[in-house]
Amino acid sequence: MTADTDTTVVFDTTAANAPKPAYSKSALARMAEVRRLVRKQGMTPDDAARATGVDPIIAQLWLRLPDNLWPVPSAAVAANAPAASSPTTLSPAPKNGLHHVLTCRILAPAFDRLCKSDSPMIEAAVAALEKGIKLPRPEVAPGSRRFARKPLAVPVPAATFPAVATLASDAFNGDLREAAGWLIARGTGMVLPLPTADELNPPPKPPTTNYPPVEPKQVAAPQSVVAHHRRPQPPETPPLPKPPLPSETLRKRRKATGLSQRDLARTSGIDRGTISEVERGRRRTPETLERISRAIDRVEAQQLAR
């Protein structure tokens, strides 16, 4: 978001038949109007976004910008502002607005102090950065690299960035993230010296492995191999045939006597559907098999008696 932006995304949240207000096409004028409605008149961000025709999410992002990052509208932009709104005085800001967003590597104690500050964490980090720049440079001494570091994305104004770049070039081998984190730590009240060359360029650590030492394997002496004659195996006997199932036996006996399933059902007193399921192997109840077998026995006895 820069000062030369002249359009913004507008969502119509009014009713379909309601008259639409005439919004300005200037993004800077809408930013100033949203800020005035929220800070001067006490409106909520959503109501201010609807009044100016701005997406509520964009209005929330505008209101979260620090005061020194609000761009100053030019005369041409101010001329396009709505006549009903009174002119809003913005805080002075750099000409180029936001110059860089650095992922500063802040020392852990300073990071904890920023978290506990009353103001928002980003604003507290920017204020600590500017305060650290104003402090005199200390001497080079060991001890500033003993703390752990935590990353934090900090918007660096254009007026502050040259001092951060100069310190990074002079004392941090050009590392902007380390220099900005060091300045923020000093701005929070930590007493830190400038890092030494050994701290900036530590010797590489040898690779450490937790593997146990490998012992050389002992090769056993070659042994004589004796070939044993394989005894001839006896021929495999064919598997015994499986005994027929009771259902198959009953079916064969019924057909041998010339009975149909209906005749057998009448003789045994069992319905024909049950006899069909028994012959298919679906029912193997001993009582049912016994009744069918006895009925076939009676029929066979009658046929032999003839």
Nearest to 128 by CA among 70, 192, 174: 192
Q: Is residue 193 within 8 Å of 144, Cβ to Cβ?
A: yes
Amino acid 250 reads L
pTM here is: 0.40
What is the C-alpha separation between 70 and 122, in angstroms, rounded? 15
CA distance 20 to 176: 49
Instruction: Tell me the residue length of the chain.
Output: 306
pLDDT by residue for the chain (306 residues), tens only, comes to 433 444 334 434 443 444 444 444 577 788 888 888 888 888 888 888 888 888 888 887 777 776 665 555 544 444 444 444 443 333 343 444 445 788 889 999 999 999 888 888 888 999 999 999 999 988 888 877 788 888 988 888 888 888 999 999 998 988 999 999 999 999 999 988 888 888 888 777 776 666 677 777 777 767 766 666 677 777 777 777 766 667 788 888 888 888 888 888 888 888 888 888 888 888 778 888 888 888 888 888 888 887
The residues with which 152 forms a beta bridge, in sequence order, are: 104
C-alpha dist (Å) from residue 38 to 18, 60, 130: 24, 11, 28
Backbone φ and ψ of 220, nearest 5°: -75, 150
* Residues contacting residue 35 through CB under 8 Å, at least 6 positions apart: 62, 63, 70, 88, 90
- Phi-psi sector, 220: left (phi>0), alpha (psi -120 to 50), beta: beta
Rounded CA Rg of the chain: 47
DSSP-derived secondary structure letter, 269: T
